[in-house]
Structure 1
Amino acid sequence: MAIALGLAYIALIPWLPYPGSWVLKPLPMLIYAALIWRAFPGAVGRWLALGYLAAAFGDFFLDYGARDGLFRQALAAFLVNQIAFLVAFAKLAAGSPWRWRRAAPAIAYGVLLATWLVPQAGALQVHVSVYIACLLGMVVMACRVEAAPRLLWLGAMLFLLADSLIGVNKFAAPFPNAVLVIVSLYFTGQTLIALGLLRHRARAA
Structure 2
Amino acid sequence: MTDTPSTKSGGFTTLVLLLSLLAGLSYYLAGRILEPSTLLIAWKGAGVALLAVWAGMQARNLDGWLIALVMALGATGDVMLETHGMTQGGLAFAAGHLVAILLFFRNRRPETTLSQKMLAVLLIPAVIWIAWRLPADRAMATDLAVYATPLAFMASLAWISRFSRYLTGVGAILFVISDLLIFSRFGLLAASPLPDLLIWPLYFTGQAMIAIGVVRVLSRDSET
In the superposition, the TM-score normalised over structure 1's length comes to 0.84
**Matching residue of 1:78:** 93
Describe how 1:86-125 pairs up with structure 2 within 5 A.
86-93=101-108, 95=110, 97=112, 99-103=116-120, 106-107=123-124, 109-117=126-134, 120-122=137-139, 124-125=140-141
Aligned mates of 2:40, 2:163 — CA distance in 1: 38
For residue 150 of structure 1, what is the amino acid of its counterpart? Y
Please, which runs of 5 or more residues in structure 1 have no aligned partner?
A: none
Within the alignment, does 1:32 sit opposite 2:20 as a pair?
Answer: no
In the superposition, the TM-score normalised over structure 2's length comes to 0.78
**Matching residue of 2:11:** none
Return the offset for 1:119.
Answer: 7.5
Return the offset for 1:133.
Answer: 1.0
Q: RMSD in angstroms over aligned alpha carbons?
A: 2.5
Return the offset for 1:201.
Answer: 1.9
Does structure 2 retain, via aligned residues, the 8 Å contact 1:146–1:153? no
Q: Deviations over 1:44-63 (max 9, x none)?
A: 23322221111111111223
Count of residues paired in the alignment: 200
Paired-residue identity, %: 24
Within the alignment, does 1:13 sit opposite 2:62 as a pair?
Answer: no
Aligned mates of 1:185, 1:200 — CA distance in 2: 23
**Matching residue of 1:186:** 203
Q: Does the C-alpha gap of structure 1 residues 148 and 84 become closer, same or farther in structure 2, counting only changes over 3 Å?
A: closer
Aligned mates of 2:51, 2:90 — CA distance in 1: 20
For residue 70 of structure 2, what is the amino acid of its counterpart? G
Within the alignment, does 1:146 sit opposite 2:165 as a pair?
Answer: no
Aligned mates of 1:125, 1:177 — CA distance in 2: 21
Question: Which stretch has the larger CA shift, 105-114 or 22-31?
Answer: 105-114
Aligned mates of 2:65, 2:194 — CA distance in 1: 35
Q: Does the C-alpha gap of structure 1 residues 111 and 131 become closer, same or farther in structure 2, counting only changes over 3 Å?
A: closer
Q: Does the C-alpha gap of structure 1 residues 121 and 182 become closer, same or farther in structure 2, counting only changes over 3 Å?
A: farther
Q: 2:217 aligns with which of 190, 197, 200?
A: 200
Q: 1:3 aligns with which of 3, 21, 24?
A: 21
Does structure 1 retain, via aligned residues, the 8 Å contact 2:164–2:214? no
**Matching residue of 1:52:** 71
Aligned mates of 2:117, 2:208 — CA distance in 1: 24
Question: Which stretch has the larger CA shift, 95-104 or 137-146?
Answer: 95-104
Aligned mates of 1:92, 1:38 — CA distance in 2: 20
Secondary structure, aligned partner of 2:165: coil
Aligned mates of 2:147, 2:50 — CA distance in 1: 25
Does structure 2 retain, via aligned residues, the 8 Å contact 1:121–1:171? no
Return the offset for 1:18.
Answer: 3.4
Secondary structure, aligned partner of 1:17: coil
Return the offset for 1:40.
Answer: 3.2
For residue 101 of structure 2, what is the amino acid of its counterpart? L
Please, which runs of 5 or more residues in structure 2 have no aligned partner?
A: 1-18
Q: Rg: which structure is higher?
A: 2
Q: Deviations over 1:104-162 (max 9, x none)?
A: 5634641540441367452x444322211101100111012237632111101100100
Q: Deviations over 1:20-69 (max 9, x none)?
A: 1101011111111122223233322332222111111111122345xxxx
Question: Which stretch has the larger CA shift, 41-50 or 102-111?
Answer: 102-111
